[in-house]
Every structure is written in structure tokens, then in C-alpha cells.
Structure 1
Amino acid sequence: MIKIIRIDHRLLHGQVIFAWTKSQGIERIIVIDNQTAVDDFKKMSLKLSKPADIKLSVFSDEQAIERMDKINALKDTTMIIFGNVAETAKVAPHFTGVTEINYGGIPERQDTKKYSNAIYLTPKEVKESQQLKQLGFKLYMQQVPTSKRESLNDVI
């Protein structure tokens, strides 16, 4: 069962490993990130950084779509982590039973607008997010489970 979908350019890091997995009872993490999926060193680093009792899979967006029937049928309490908005917009419409997407960390770059302390979106990312919103997803910004949850839907 998919419990949470998160966009975070850092993928697995302290906030995810300690705060989100514990508060949500996560048993499996699936990272969907095209760059990481083809980088053996990054994949090894993710495997070393995850808690021993949590299963980890790393897929490209295409690999995730190909495996979507299996992903949607998982019995494990699962967290999906995307590295960026574009891959989220491509894959998220294929999930079943998922209604929310957590925007956890998208860095400031050229031509971005600030939406929260940790969320900066380009015009293209805003458009992709609006498409997700139109599909019925509730988009929200929240770095850790104990911080205030802010609606992205209301400001894009």
C-alpha cells in the first residue's frame, strides 16, 4: 500500500530516514529517479543509508510505469520518493488509491519562484504541478511530519 509520495531532490536523507519512515510506519521505499536508476554508486549509497528493516527499490520513471501493477498491489506500507517534479508528473497518474503528493525539497535554481522555505519551482514545474492538481491530487508542502502542512494547490 502506498502511504506517501514525496518529491525531494535529496532522495534519502535524515528527514526521510528518521522522521517520515517512523511516523508513517514505512516498510518499503521506492525511489523513482532517472539519474539515480543508472548510477550504481548512487544506488549503493542509498542502500547503505536506509534502515536495515526497510526494503528499497530504485527505478527510472519508465521502469516504474512498467512495474506499476506490482507497485500498486504492494502489501508493504510504501513510501515513493521522486527526485523532481517532471518524473512525478509522468508517473503519478498511474498510481491507484493515492490522492496526495508531498513536496518536501526542491532547491532554488535559476528562474524559480519560492513557494516555501524548501520549495522553489520553475514555470515548467508549476505547469506540471497544475496538471497533477487537475488530476485530483492534493499537493502540499511539508518538510517533516511535525512541521506545518501548507497547501501548494492554493498557490499555484
Structure 2
Amino acid sequence: MIIGVRIDGRLIHGQVANLWTTKLNITRIMVVDDEVSKSAIEKSGLKLATPAGVKLSVLPYELAAENILAKRYESQRLLIVAKKPHYLLELVKKGVPIEEINVGNMSQTDTTIAVTRSVNVEKEDIAEFKELQARGVRLVHQMVPADSAEDFMSLLDKKG
């Protein structure tokens, strides 16, 4: 069962591994990323960052959608993590029931626009966020569980 969905450019690190996993009582973290799923080095790094007792899946989006829709994780408390909105939008297009996405850390580059101190978006990210919203997905920004959740699209709209 999907308990949480988070965008975080760092994937699994302190906030996801400790704070969110504990707060949501997660039993499996699923990283959805076609490139990372092909990298043995990145996968072993993610495995090291995953808390003891929590299972890890690192999957391309098509297999992730297939497994979720086949109800492979129904007895588990699943946290889905992706670097950007792209793969989450692909999951939604395939029928994965995602109601809310927590937009966490997205790194700054030469081509990004700062939405908050820790969220920087590209033009294509903005289009994907708008499509997710149009498909009924609620987008919030909440770095850590102690913070209050803010409406992400309102923050994005302020940036024009």
C-alpha cells in the first residue's frame, strides 16, 4: 500500500531514511528511476542508506507501475521516491493511484528556477507538475515531518 510519495533529488538520505521512514512507519522504500535502476554502484549506495529493517526496490517506472498495479506491495507500507516529477507522472499515466506528492529537495543548476530554498525546477518540471495537478494529484512541499505542509502549486505560481 502506498503510504507516501516524495520527490527528492538525493533519493535516500537523512530526511528520507530517518525522518520520513520513521514518521510514516515505512516497510519498503521504492526508488523509481530508469537510470539509477541500471547502476549497480548507485543501487549499492542506496542500499547502504536504507534503514535496517526496511526493504528497498530500485526500479524503472514501467516495472514499478506493473508491480504496484499487480498489488505486490499490498501488505507493506510503501514510500515511493523519485528525483523529479517525470517518473511519478509516468506512474500516474499507467494508473498507479497517487493522491499526493511531497515535493522535497530538487537541486539547483544553471537552468533551474528557485521555488523555495531547497526546491529548484526546470521548465519541463513545471509542465509535469501542472499535468499531475490536472490529473488530480495534490502537490505539497514539506521538507521534514515537523514542518507544516504548504501547497506546492501556490509556491510555484508565485514564481510565474
Q: TM-score with structure 2 length normalisation?
A: 0.89
Matched ranges for 1:64-75 at <5 A: 64-71=64-71, 74-75=74-75
Distance, in Å, in 1 between the alignment partners of 2:111 and 2:25 is: 37
2:143 counterpart SS class: coil
Matched ranges for 1:91-102 at <5 A: 91-93=91-93, 94-96=95-97, 98-102=98-102
| CA RMSD between the two structures | 1.5
1:68 Cα offset (Å): 3.1
Which residue of the partner structure matches residue 139 of structure 1? 139
Matched ranges for 1:6-155 at <5 A: 6-71=6-71, 74-93=74-93, 94-96=95-97, 98-154=98-154, 155=156
More strand by share: 1
Farther off after superposition, 126-135 or 27-36: 27-36
Deviation per CA, 1:42-85: give whole Å up to 9, x if none. Answer: 11111122112111111011221332323575221110001222
Structure 1 residue identity aligned to 2:4: I
2:4 paired with 1:4: yes
- Give aligned pairs, total: 155
Distance, in Å, in 1 between the alignment partners of 2:73 and 2:18 is: 25
Structure 1 residue identity aligned to 2:76: D
Deviation per CA, 1:77-132: give whole Å up to 9, x if none. Answer: 11000122211211134222x31001111111223221111111111110100000
Structure 2 residue identity aligned to 1:31: V
2:23 counterpart SS class: helix
Which aligned segments of 4 or more residues in structure 1 are displaced greater than 4 angstroms? none
Q: TM-score with structure 1 length normalisation?
A: 0.92
1:23 Cα offset (Å): 0.6
Deviation per CA, 1:5-36: give whole Å up to 9, x if none. Answer: 00111110001111001111111111101121
